[in-house]
Homo-oligomer: A and B are copies of this chain.
Amino acid sequence: VHDQDFQATVQPGLFYKDMNKTLAAYGLFFAPDPGANASIGGMLANNAAGIRTVRYGATRDNILALEVVLANGEIIRTGSRSVKQSAGYDLTHLFVGSEGTLGIITEATLKLAPIPEHFSAATAAFPTVQQAAQVVFEIIGSGLEPNALELLDELAVNIINTEPSINLPPGINLFMEFSGASETNLHERMKLVEAICHENGCKSYAKGMGREGRAQLWEARHRLFEIELRYFPGQDYLLTDSSVPISQYPKLATTTADLIEELGLTGSIVSHAGDGNLHTTIFFPKDDHQSRQNAVTLNKKIVELAISLNGTSTGEHGVGIGKAQYMPQEHGPDLTVMQNIKHTLDPKNILNPGKIFPSR
């Protein structure tokens, strides 16, 4: 831990929640927060993000230097511990998010953030996705700098309410968190947030959730997928993960809600709305081939809509095998550049073969 530089140099097997427990003694934390207790190596591989990315950026934005083992066995060190560097090509950002296809990361120097002094969380319920999406857009546009801005649709709220400790108002909910250097500053911003919610038809607004309420809320949010698995026992599922510029988020969210209804699917929208990053979770019985097919259709339509809105097929989950088919559509000719770089660094295609690029 280079606490005086707000940095830590770690190995990829470390889990970020365990690391953050240690870092708390220094008043620091690694901000990207994907929910599950992911390993740093996993987070580096797919450029993981999560609920705090709206404020602190994704994994890629919080890495200064790497040690990487190349396909030929050679070990290189990219970047430096200086926060500024203009010496040569930015290999660090190239390896982060390359899903193990360019080299194996064996060490990383992470940028850390100071744990804020004062927090405030709030939830607000809305009758329509359109209204909630508009609030997201206005909060970002007003420069209110949320730490987290999450949207849960009606089904997700109903499911999360099956937890004994949670009692959210029915409807589409926004989970919001803000932090600040002083209570005064935080209070001013929360007043503006409340006003924006009411102006956009908020049905109910719960504010002033302290550390405990906030912890409970995020705990439930992070465990939502696990709660859903219990709620739909034995069913199969499909997750989507697309992201668009924030001005296009209302369109992405409302179109997705309409598509779920049109296709007769059972599934919820849970999104890192502040980043324009929308997830749906679709559940269906394992032998219901029509629903499975409809879920795939939904994913395809969402991906294509996101790309057409200048967004991306994957905001934080990565390409893997499932989204390789969309890469030509998303990237066009720069996919060839990626493939050439892959071939240069791994001519025998031994590093995670079959990932990212569509099979020919």
Contact = CB atoms under 8 A, between A and B. Distances in A.
B311 A82 contact: yes
Contact of A310 (B48, B58, B81, B330): B81
A267 interface: no
Contact of A93 (B70, B93, B313): B93
A314 B47 CA distance: 27
Contact of A82 (B93, B97, B310, B317): B310
Contact of A332 (B76, B332, B341, B345): B76
Interface size class of A (residues with CB under 8 A): 35 or more
11 contacts: A4-B246, A7-B245, A49-B86, A76-B333, A76-B334, A77-B331, A78-B334, A80-B311, A83-B276, A94-B94, A340-B345
Contacts of A155: none
A330 to B, nearest CB: 6
Nearest to A274: B83
Interface string A298-316: 0000000010001111111
A126 B272 CA distance: 47
Nearest to A342: B89
A356 B88 contact: yes
How many copies, total? 2
Contact of A77 (B2, B306, B332): B332
A334 B75 CA distance: 8
Interface stretch (A168-176, A184-192, A195-203): A184-192
Nearest to A316: B86
Contacts of A327: 87-88
A86 B311 contact: no
Interface string A310-348: 111111111100010011001111110110111111000
A88 B247 contact: no
Given A47-B86, A85-B314, 9 more contacts: A46-B86, A49-B86, A61-B61, A82-B243, A82-B311, A86-B97, A86-B318, A88-B319, A89-B94
Nearest to A58: B84
A117 to B, nearest CB: 9
